[in-house]
Amino acid sequence: MCTDVHAVVPRRGGPMARPRLAALVGPRLLLILAIAGAPAPGHGQSEVSTFQLAAIAGTVSDAATHEPLADVRIQLEGTKLGALSGIDGRYRIAAVPPGAYALSARRLGYVKATEQVAVPDSGTMTVDFALEKSATTLDEIVVTGTPQEQTRRPLGNALGKVRVSDVVEVAPPPNVQQLLNMVPGVRVQSAGGDVGSGGNTRVRGASSMTLASEPLVYIDGVRVNNAAADAGGVPGVGSVGVDARYPPSRINDVNPDEIASIEMIKGPAAATLYGTEASNGVINIITKRGTRGRPRVSFQVKQGANWLPDPANLFQHSYYKSAAGDIVDADVLGHDRNVGFPVSYYGSCPKPYQQSGDMCKGTPFSVGYARSYEASIAGGNEALSYYFFGGWDRDEGAVDYNWRNRLNGRANVTYTPSAKITMDFGLGYRRSKLRSAGAQQPITTGIIWSCPSPGCEPGRNLPNGLDGPYRGYLLYVPEVYEDNIQGYEDLDRTTLTTTLRHKPVSWFTHRLTVGGDFTDQELSDLWKKISTVGSLFPSGRRDIETTRTSYVSADYAATASARPFQAVGLETAFGFQYYRKQNVAVYAHGETFPVSDLETISAGALKTSQENFLENKTVGLYVQEQAAWNDRFYLTAGLRGDDNSAFGKSYKAAYYPKFSVSWVVSDEPFFARLPFVSSLKLRSAWGKAGQQPDAFAALRTYTPETGANGTPTLTPQNLGNPDLKPEVGQELEVGFDASLFSERIGLELTWYNKKTKDALVQVPALPSLGFPGVQYRNIGEVDNRGVEVGLNADLFRSPRTGLNVGVKFSHNTNEVVTLGGASSLVMNATYGQYHVPGFPLGSIFQRRVLSADIDSSGATRKAINMMCESGALVPGTNFSRGGGPAVPCSTAPAVYWGNPLPAWEGSATATLTLFKNLQLFGLVDFLSGNTILSGDIRASLMSFRNQRAIIEATDPILLAYDILDTRRQPGIVKGGFAKLREISATYTLPESWLRGRGVSRVSLTLSAQNFWTIWVQQRSDFGVKLTDPEIRNSAGTGSDPGGLLGYNQEGWPQLRRVLFTTRVTL
């Protein structure tokens, strides 16, 4: 919509008044900008005289956020007069003859606005535009999954896009992974709430039994480190510095404030051009760049807090049976807070406790302080544009010893020496230091499993007595984590991106992108030598693991276009890609220190070290042909060939074809009869992409050992497989994109069917071959089918108010089709997880008790006459879907309880604009259909026996599980939940308040996260509550490639977070 139309006539013979900014920045900055080729503030246009023709000038902004909009085309309809807005949203059209005109403003992603204007004989007419976002647009430019930039029109596949720069204005996210949850079919399952933990990104389910299902990650077209659970690079070492079950995710190294948008393709049908490793989808992070116009300087300050809501009641309380026979609430947190422990135990009160008389009292939890300081400058001219960003932030968790300091910087420069050549240069740098809350098992371990049997009643001299050194806690006490146990991650990461685009003739364009991502990570931990309780290694221990990971890639693409007939357009594309990943890791360990002051590895009485080197290379070629009919019907076919160093020597190359069709039905003449449909595109795509085996899976390897008399020798390590090849994902998707009611409503729907063929299966090596362990073979198949829906609607629009809602929803069905003839494959027998044909990956099988009686004749009660669920057996196994009559548990099968992958997920957002300058935002998300193996519940009941139900021994079902061999059934719970993830209020100061102050925009945002868990599918089992259904293991362990293990224990619940953000733009 258009607002504020008026004329300004300058004084005769004098220039218009300069903006006050020129006086603020001073002559030095003006000189620097002149050298860079950028127009100086206040000098972007020549003087205007009343003897000249009139001019039209103004600013263009986003109607919702009031942010200035760059690259908006302002046009006097029916003439060749027009202009592009600069980075500050300003534009100017000079030498306009007097008369009546229709002045329009258009930009991709926004609804075109038009204003009727009457231009005077001279002077300057001001016309400002406030553009409304379009619900969807087929002409939006995308760069992911295509050889060159192109619009959405020809795409036969779904492409998810998050306009990050818009999102952060109203709802600042804590990390990049939370932004990914806004794309239909994508779910990031967070590992925990402590500062520094990451999570698994799932795109259309999981598709492999042995390889991680994480998508590839690119930054500005360059492949980067996508480790979802980065716990170091030395296999078999275990946890160093961070909790190996919940380690950091490398995608969260990127600061959301330096991102313009994220594009995402979701499976093999779209990812063929990326080849091997791309079957799980591709995430392309597109960072901000400068546009022409005067320098635009922005500052941002964030201040906030993180905390656990009501820890005293958040965690399940423990109980014990007193000598009098009463069941008593141990409440170790309440005991520390109200009773405490003697000052004399340590000589003074250690952190986090305070002295109260002769006792130390307090709580292990605190309110963490979050703050961030950022600045950026952007601008340029037609030849050179630039964007520079720098920021520092510190985030503190719910305990004093959990924090992260991070320094981020980015420099992006675009150089356009001519209309035919464009060069983009990018440099990103990140340096951070994380102190982990999980160097050893976190303090939540001591709380959840406190007061273990035989209890902790004071006065009875029990090992975990409330009046003893452990104060009821299990194994660990809070104060040792403050200083005596330390775990760190130190990170230095540099990302370089360079893209050269050349269009020598109108029908030919080619591009070369080269770059690298270099990560130096040091993980370290320290257990000081102490004489008190609470440490896993009281004699002292030190570990350091350094890992240098480099990703280097080169990508060349060329496109030739032709139009042999007026209605027919052809585009032929071909390309070459090279990729190398290298990982060098060194681990050193020392333990048993003579005194507490010695903390180095060399001071340890026992010392060990290891070194690991891994390198993987891929070379790929592709060709693609696209045919268009009347620019509304498109056919695309492509083929890619790859060779990878992880393939077996007998397997030469992999080939991945793709086909897609797109039809913009709304452009057909017959479609005009449906005026409420603004646009409609039908689409379908089929394609293949791969995922390579582990680097050494194909090779026969030996490990060095010390032989007789100390002589060096080699022993068999890995059998290898010369015929090993990649897993191949094959996917068909069908859907449509529509905009309705003058582009107020955007609707996207996609159905997909993805098959992972040649899936890797771990087959036990034959003992006769002399090699231990397993051999990887391409004999499996996994299916994923589902539907995705995305809806975005402007329900109400007016100059001062508006309501926008967004909904995303997806459903996924996962199934193991075959294991190459095997009836089942063990994933984790301890917890009853198996891969079984006809069932989802990692399905949980355990016996289910239906009834039992209690025998009270002995000293303790026990279950008898136990009857369990039966059902038809899966051939060759003792597994069943259940549903049969009750049979004696001794003969009952293990029945299906569920699987750890959510079948349903979605979210809903609402943005309400009031009084033009106030925006209220809310986000609710949910998932369901997954099953959790809660170790917190199971161990409380079966191992530490500190809960009412097991102490009272009146539930025959629980007592029956106490007798069964695995004792794993308690704690198998449904994992569905819905949360109010974020609410926020953003107020943009009126322009009239800022005019003449050298400031163009100021906005204030107050946001809150994780304040309400709306729904939990199953809150407890046998009276023991589930702390937080979001807690899960994210790292790979044993046969779990990462994210498939349903078992978790002791994790940190999601923290509540409040953040106040101030943004100032000069």
What distances in angstroms separate CA 850 from CA 63, 846, 863, 958, 1034, one per listed residue?
61, 13, 12, 11, 33
CA distance 837 to 781: 9
What is the predicted pLDDT for the residue at 783?
95
For residues 989 and 1034, what is the distance between their CA atoms, to the nearest angstrom? 43
Using alpha carbons, list the distances in angstroms from residue 497 to 423, 425, 492. 11, 6, 17
Structure tokens belonging to residue 179: 């932004």
Taking alpha carbons only, the member of 377, 388, 379 closest to residue 411 is 388
- Cα–chain center distance at 306: 20
Cα–Cα nearest to 245, from 178, 181, 187, 200 = 200
Cα 146 to Cα 41, 55, 180, 289, 775: the distances in Å are 38, 41, 21, 21, 37
- Parse the chain into domains and list their residue ranges: 2-131, 141-287
Which pLDDT does position 34 carry in this prediction? 38
Q: Give the pLDDT confidence score for residue 9 in this predicted structure.
A: 34
**Mean pLDDT in runs of 10 for the chain (1066 residues)?**
39 35 37 37 38 83 78 84 81 89 83 87 89 73 79 88 88 88 87 87 88 90 86 77 86 93 86 81 91 88 95 94 94 95 94 94 95 94 92 96 96 93 95 93 94 94 93 94 93 96 93 95 94 92 94 95 93 93 93 92 93 89 94 93 82 88 91 83 92 77 76 79 87 93 90 92 79 84 95 86 93 94 91 94 96 92 95 95 95 96 94 92 95 95 96 96 88 96 94 86 94 95 94 78 88 94 94
pLDDT of amino acid 5: 40
Enter the tokens of residue 507. Answer: 């029908």
CA distance 831 to 852: 23
Task: Locate 98 and state its tokens.
Answer: 């007097």
Residue of 344, 369, 362 whose CA lies nearest to 478: 362
Closest-CA residue to 489 (of 174, 138, 233, 670): 233
pLDDT confidence of residue 49: 43
Token output for 228: 């979802």
Query: Rounded to an integer, what distance in angstroms lies between the CA atom of residue 713 and that of residue 407?
Result: 47
- Beta strand pairing status for 54-62 and 124-131? parallel
List residues bridging with 263 in a β-sheet. 161, 284
pTM: 0.87
CA distance 148 to 150: 6
23-32 contacts, C-beta under 8 A, 24 or more apart: 23/998, 24/998, 24/1066, 25/295, 29/295
* Annotation: CATH topology of 141-287: Ferric Hydroxamate Uptake Protein; Chain A, domain 1 (2.170.130)
Q: Cα Rg for the chain, rounded, in angstroms?
A: 32
Q: Are 267 and 731 in contact (CB under 8 A)?
A: yes
Phi-psi region at 570: left, alpha or beta (left = phi > 0; alpha = psi -120 to 50): beta
Helix (H) or strand (E) holding 984: strand 977-988
pLDDT score, position 135: 62
Identify the bridge partners of residue 947 per DSSP, sorted by sequence position: none
In sequence order, the β-bridge partners of residue 835 are: 825
CATH superfamily of the domain spanning 2-131: Carboxypeptidase-like, regulatory domain (2.60.40.1120)
Beta strand 216-219 pairing with 282-287 = parallel
